Amino acid sequence: MKDEITIKEAQEQVDHWIKTVGVRYFNELTNMTVLMEEVGELARIMSRTYGEQSFKESDKGKDLGDEMADVLWVLICLANQTGVDLTLAMKKNFEKKNIRDIDRHKNNEKLK
């Protein structure tokens, strides 16, 4: 695998893996629940690394990047299952944010 991967390539590679190694996709509602589980695992590591909670023995050795990749994996599964082109969706999202938020954050006193 090359060092860099586009969103489209990630969607294609996840789809290929699911269909060859994973047998099939879990249904959409199951994957939505799995996504929430993965977000919870990420939140646990974040709260222990950057927040005030201390690590439990079971938390040690967890990798932040790996937890983020788990979240991304399941999100990509959901996109594939529902026919969402994440590259196009991200482009549209940037356009929306660039219009809606052009001055919003610059004018936010809380960020200064």
CB 35 within 8 A of CB 78: yes
Q: Is 22 among the domain residues?
A: yes
43: domain CATH number? 1.10.287.1080
pLDDT at residue 1 above 80? no
Token pair listed for 112:
């200064």
CB 38 within 8 A of CB 97: no
Domain span holding position 21: 7-85
Number of domains in the chain: 1
pLDDT at residue 2 above 80? no
Q: Is 73 among the domain residues?
A: yes
Confidence label for 111 from pLDDT (cuts 50, 70 and 90): confident
Mean predicted confidence (pLDDT) in 76-102: 95
Q: Is 14 among the domain residues?
A: yes
Tens-digit pLDDT profile for residues 9-66: 999 999 999 999 999 999 999 999 999 999 999 999 999 999 998 888 888 788 999 9
